[in-house]
Homo-oligomer: A and B are copies of this chain.
Amino acid sequence: MIELKEMIDSKGKIIGNNILKVDEFLNHQMDIELINKIGDKFHEFFKEKNITKILTIEASGIGIAAIAAQYFKCNVVFAKKTKSLNLIGDMYRTRVKSFTKNEEFEVLVAQKLLNPEDRILIIDDFLAEGSACLGLIDIVKQSKAQLSGIGIVIEKGFQDGGKIIREMGIDLCSLAIIESMSEDGGAVYRD
């Protein structure tokens, strides 16, 4: 997606060969015009799948999922990372490791919110090692809903998440795949 790559190139900050900061437009400030185009793009890619629900994980996925859901005319469920006093009732549970926070945590989704009849699209901002995505895939499996696809804004193609998910036979749409990156040379994208 050209507008996205242009935004990464102009406003993203690369630190070392591994960390890409996109806090000016994606996961701290959200550029709503860009995210609208991202939602439209996901819809263009998955519109034949009759998606009934978008599943994401707090926090950075929520805004992207909410805007994308307007195109699909469906609702969003976001998996919760922490145990609120208000989380009562039967939960699907899985464990996820955060690459950027270097910690493991439990992820919860209320069982009543996912049904075997649902056709689920998972959406998230980043795909790196794939731990968050694999956690959400695990929750969809537990619910017996159909996983119709995964939409990712930025995939770090030099980490293993994308490979693992494609080898599972899942329909994965990453709007920008970074093959390599460096502070001097910027990001190099996969075609």
Contact = CB atoms under 8 A, between A and B. Distances in A.
Interface string A56-74: 0011001111110110011
A85 interface: yes
Interface in A35-68: 35-36, 58-59, 62-67
Contact of A32 (B21, B74, B82): B74
Interface residue range, chain A: 35 or more
A75 interface: yes
A33 to B, nearest CB: 8
Copies in the complex: 2
Interface string A84-103: 11111000000000001110
Contacts of A88: 15, 21
Contact of A85 (B35, B36, B100): B100
A113 interface: yes
A1 interface: no
A66 B30 contact: yes
14 contacts: A19-B86, A28-B77, A28-B78, A28-B109, A29-B113, A30-B77, A32-B66, A32-B75, A58-B62, A59-B59, A59-B81, A63-B63, A63-B76, A82-B101
Interface of A: 15, 19, 21, 23-24, 28-33, 35-36, 58-59, 62-67, 69-70, 73-78, 80-88, 100-102, 109-110, 112-113
